[in-house]
Amino acid sequence: MSVKAVTHLNFRGDARAALTFYQSVFDGHLAVVTYKDAGNIQDPAEAEQVMWGQVAAENGFRVMAHDVPASQPWDQGEDAFFLAHWAAERRGLERFRTEQPPYSILNRAIEREVLPVCERYGMGTLVWSPLAMGPLTGRHRRGRPSGAHAARMKWVPQHLTDQRKLDAVEQLLVLAEQAGLSLTHMAMAFAATHPGVTAAVIGPRTVAHLDDLLAGATATPDDELLDRIDTIVPPGTDVGPLDVAHVPPSLAQSALRRRQAGERAVVSA
């Protein structure tokens, strides 16, 4: 079975211009459905904006684009995944086929919504960094220097010194040893166990790292082991953010989480 991924871009009124640009570069067929065409005008000023658009070229190139309504809270990188499905499902159009979020024992937030949505819509999920960008290799320990790896990078990423992560790693190392597994093998097996995960993307730096990961490909965690992992890192939670984690405006901007000062009373006068 082959899986074809189509890039979907979200804009604030610039989707048509973006699609026209891609058409000029790849000489593909441009198809556009506006909010007016779909009979779904929420704001007259947005009637001619793109509810769904696509450029498809004979060489196989394809890109989709969408103008997010002004009534929908959104910023670059926020809610694009769900908005794309909303538009595609509403019009019966081509949709995302795969998603690539981070996922590991230490970063399980996607279990709350992303993985269930992927399962519901039949999407593949190619999760990345099942070793949590380093901590689940076991080389970064509490009270121990990170060694040559940190020296090579010239700096130590914050997530490698996060005490919450380091505390969890110490517990996971003990658990892995009791299960007869290395920490890396247990981490890889965990990521592949969720029914919503299609595959885990790895990034070994050396051949030795690759050999180690491949050697653990047949590891199969039992329910008891998974239950004990859940007690260390509860389902759907992150043990501290990744350095590369996206922080949407809804979290970064306190004003978006607070009513105006005069509107905060539980009962209006």
pLDDT tens across 106-128, in order? 999 999 888 888 887 788 999 98
User: Percent of the chain at pLDDT above 70?
Assistant: 81
CATH code where residue 196 lies: 3.20.20.100
What tokens does 1 get?
Answer: 């079975």
115 and 227 share one domain? yes
**What CA–CA distance (Å, rounded) separates 210 from 215?**
9
10 Å CB burial of residue 234 (0-12, 13-18, 19+) is exposed
Structurally, the chain folds into a number of domains equal to: 2
- The reply to whether 123 and 234 lie within a common domain is yes
Q: What is the pLDDT of residue 60?
A: 81
Same-domain check for residues 17 and 125? no
Per-residue confidence (pLDDT) for residue 245, from 0 to 100 = 64
Q: Note whether residue 256 is domain-resident.
A: no
Overall size of the chain counted in residues: 269
Number of H helices, E strands in the chain: 9, 7
Quick one: 149 exposed, middle or buried, by C-beta within 10 A (0-12, 13-18, 19+)? middle
What is the pTM (predicted TM-score) of this model? 0.62
Please indicate, yes or no, whether residues 13 and 62 belong to a single structural domain of this protein.
Answer: yes
Provide the pairing of β-strand 7-11 with 62-67.
parallel
Same domain assignment for residues 152 and 227: yes
Q: Does position 156 have pLDDT exceeding 60, yes or no?
A: no
Residue-wise pLDDT tens digits, 191-234: 999 999 999 988 888 898 888 888 888 889 999 999 999 999 99
Do 113 and 92 reside in the same domain of the chain?
Answer: no
Domain identity same for 197 and 224? yes
Residue whose pair of structure tokens reads 């159009």 in the numeric block: 93
Cα–Cα distance measured from residue 76 to residue 103, given in angstroms and rounded to the nearest whole number: 22
Give percent of the chain above pLDDT 90.
Answer: 28
171, 68: one domain: no
Pair 15, 67: CB distance under 8 Å? yes
Residue 148 counted as domain residue:
yes
245-263 pLDDT, tens digit each: 666 677 778 887 788 888 7
Give the tokens for residue 65.
Answer: 């684009």
Q: What's residue 268's pLDDT?
A: 58
Same domain, yes or no, for 21 and 144?
Answer: no
Structural contact between residues 225 and 171, judged by C-beta atoms closer than 8 angstroms: no
* Residue 243: predicted pLDDT: 64
The last residue of a domain, from among 63, 96, 129: 96
**Assigned domain for 253 exists:** no
Return the pLDDT at 145.
54
Residue whose C-alpha is closest to residue 106's, from 218, 251, 259, 230: 230
pLDDT digits (tens, 9 = 90+) for 162-179: 889 999 999 999 999 999
Report CA-CA distances (Å) from 113 to 37, 116, 119, 202, 261: 31, 5, 10, 23, 32
Q: Kindly tell me if the per-residue pLDDT of 4 is higher than 90.
A: no
Q: State which H helix or E strand residue 163 sits in.
A: helix 163-178
Residue 257 included in any domain: no
Q: What is the DSSP letter of 244?
A: T
Higher pLDDT, 190 or 214: 190
Q: Does residue 67 lie within any of the structural domains?
A: yes
Reference 227, options 179, 163, 177, 170; nearest CA is: 179
Mean confidence (pLDDT) of the chain: 82
Range of the domain at 91: 7-96
**Cα dist. 27→22, 23, 59, 61, 66 in Å?**
8, 5, 10, 10, 20
